[in-house]
Amino acid sequence: MSSQASAPIGVFDSGVGGLTVVRALMERLPFEDIVYFGDTARVPYGVKSVDTIKHFTAQITEFLLEKRVKMLIIACNTMAAVAADVVKRLADVPVLDVIEAGARSAVAVTKSNAIGVIGTPTTINSNAYARNIHLLNSATRVYSQACPLFVPLVEEGWLDHPVTRLTAHEYLRPVFVEQIDTLVLGCTHYPLLKPLLQEVAGPHITLVDSATAMAEQTAQLLGEQGLANDKRHAPDYRFFVTDIPLRFQTIGERFLGRSLAQVEMVKWN
């Protein structure tokens, strides 16, 4: 095994939401070490300008490259939508982003070639999902909808709450009119709403969870590039954040699906 293969995977997000991707990675690749970075002091990114997001993304990329990661995963859909080019320019290791992974999964799943995409306003305005889907199949019709209220509802823990159900009906009504058969959950927070969204969407619509899609694509890339860690050891997980806000532990553990140990603070001026 090369020394590169034993290095950790770097994963980053605007806050704790990217832990849904970490959770999927832990399940799919249980022997890989992971270094996570969540910009909890500056979250949310989904309503910020493109220039600001690019600037923050460059800072985080440099931080993780200094940790000698073997690859980088952009877990945040918003960063992937508007700043993936920044990461790819700075990184000398492979870079995967949730949007490419989600688009690929959606195109593989759809039979009617009509796909719905939901995400933050910045992700939806960037049109990044539609662009990635059209690169794979130009005949696909893509119907996008920003759902800004979902992030705070998930952080509030209202995963199965009448207010969230009503909000979902309201947001998704125009998308369902288009006879989609696939709905991409294009935000780190939305996998937690999967049971509720599946209920609202009905059984004929397949939900594509970009966290799971990302874990699958990571496994494939590590295999292809000889970067898989084949040491059968207990993996090392490190979590860096820029702030430890109120309820951080509770919210983080909800996203991760297990206890959140070894959280380290990074102070940026």
Report the greatest alpha carbon distance in the chain.
Answer: 52
* DSSP class per residue in 30-71: TT--EEEEE-TTT---TTS-HHHHHHHHHHHHHHHHHTT-SE
Question: Which strand (E) or helix (H) includes residue 175?
Answer: helix 162-176
Nearer to ligand DGL, 12 or 237 (CB): 12
Among 40, 61, 78, 105, binds ligand DGL (CB under 6 A): 78
**Minimum separation from the CB atom of position 226 to ligand DGL (A):** 30
Q: Among the options 76, 98, 147, 180, which is catalytic?
A: 76
- The binder of ligand DGL chosen from 12, 37, 45, 255 (CB under 6 A): 45
Q: How far apart are CA 261 and CA 33, in angstroms?
A: 14
Sheet holding 34-38, edge to edge: 95-97, 71-74, 9-13, 34-38, 237-241, 263-265
Q: Which residue has the CB atom at the shortest distance from ligand DGL?
A: 46
Under the criterion CB under 6 A, does residue 144 sit at the interface with ligand DGL? no
Please report the DSSP string for 132-146 in residue order: HHHHH-TT-EEEEEE
Annotated catalytic residue: which of 7, 9, 187, 211?
A: 187
For tokens 């369902």, what's the residue?
A: 176
The C-alpha torsion from 76 through 80 and 82 to 83, rounded to 10°, is 100
* Chosen residue from 21, 128, 187, 260 binding ligand DGL by CB under 6 A: 187
Q: How far is the CB of 44 from ligand DGL (least distance, A)?
A: 3
Please give the angle made by the CA atoms of 57, 14 and 253, to the nearest 5 degrees.
145
CB of residue 34 to ligand DGL, shortest distance in Å: 17
Mark the segment that binds ligand DGL (CB under 6 A) among 75-83, 128-136, 137-145, 253-261. 75-83
Give least dist CB 267 to ligand DGL, A.
Answer: 20
Is residue 44 near ligand DGL by the rule CB under 6 A? yes
Residue 147 falls in the annotated catalytic set: no
Catalytic machinery residues: 76, 187
Which residues are at the interface with ligand DGL (CB under 6 A)?
Answer: 13-15, 17, 43-46, 76-78, 119-120, 123, 151, 187-189
